[in-house]
Amino acid sequence: MKGWGLLALLLGALLGAVWALRSQDLHCGACRALVDELEWEIAQVDPKKTIQMGSFRINPDGSQSVVEVPYARSEAHLTELLEEVCDRMKEYGQQIDPSTHRENYVRVVGRNGESNELDQQGIRIDSDISGTLKFACESIVEEYEDELIEFFSREADNVKDKLCSKRTDLCDHALHISHDEL
pLDDT tens-digit map of 125-171: 888 999 999 999 999 999 999 999 998 998 888 888 889 988 888 98
Task: Look at residue 84 and tell me whether its pLDDT is greater than 60.
Answer: yes
* Closest alpha carbon to 31 in 171, 130, 172: 171
Contact predicate 54/64, CB 8 Å = yes
Q: What is the pTM of this model?
A: 0.75
The rounded distance, in Å, linking the Cα atoms of 125 and 100 is 20
Cα-Cα-Cα-Cα torsion 11, 17, 23, 24, nearest 10 degrees, comes to -170
Residue 50 DSSP SS3: strand
R_g (Cα) of the chain, nearest Å: 21
**Cα–Cα distance measured from residue 94 to residue 116, given in angstroms and rounded to the nearest whole number:** 15
What are the residue boundaries of the structural domains of the chain, listed by start? Answer: 25-167
Q: Which residue has the higher pLDDT, 114 or 49?
A: 49
pLDDT at 29: 94
Mean pLDDT over all residues of the chain?
A: 80
Q: Give the pLDDT mean for 63-74.
A: 83
Percent of the chain with pLDDT over 90: 42
Average pLDDT for 22-46: 92
Reply yes or no on whether the pLDDT at 3 is more than 90: no
